[in-house]
Structure 1
Amino acid sequence: QALLSNVFEWNRSVDKIVKTDIPSHIMEKLADKTMRTKKEISREIDVRKKVFDWMLANNIHSTPDVETVIQRYYYDAETILERVAADL
């Protein structure tokens, strides 16, 4: 049976997405599979959270719009991150 864990959860009381603790065994597997350090993985998760926060702040909620941002992030992360930094 697969064990699932949320990396981010919606906290209604503060109306924000908050980071949950990532179990160390998951971080170790990610590091092993991606050949990255745990620190690099944590940084990437933080960057992606900023993109999600930016989407929320800019009312990007529809599936097609979210898909577009995610696709652009994978093809040209620098441009998306510049936009995020300018708006946040």
Structure 2
Amino acid sequence: GRLDIAGNVAVVDDEGTVRWASTLPGYADGYRPGAESRTAMDFLEDIAASPSNRLCVECLSLLDGDESFCPNCGYEFP
């Protein structure tokens, strides 16, 4: 996967599917259910407040929030 930053922030898996995106309304079609009514600040608040939206920086997998290591790549969190 990769982390794309080009005006918006998006997590894209190796197949090209957007797994998570910080977008403004109107650009969210296909990103995730209900995203159309969200703003970029809503997504940033989700990341800051909800551990379920954490990302592993090594493989960009979404995490549940209670892991001590990434179940995808094995990276141990500090």
TM-score (norm 1): 0.26
Q: 1 or 2 for the larger relative contact order (CA 8 Å, sep ≥6)?
A: 2
Larger Rg: 1
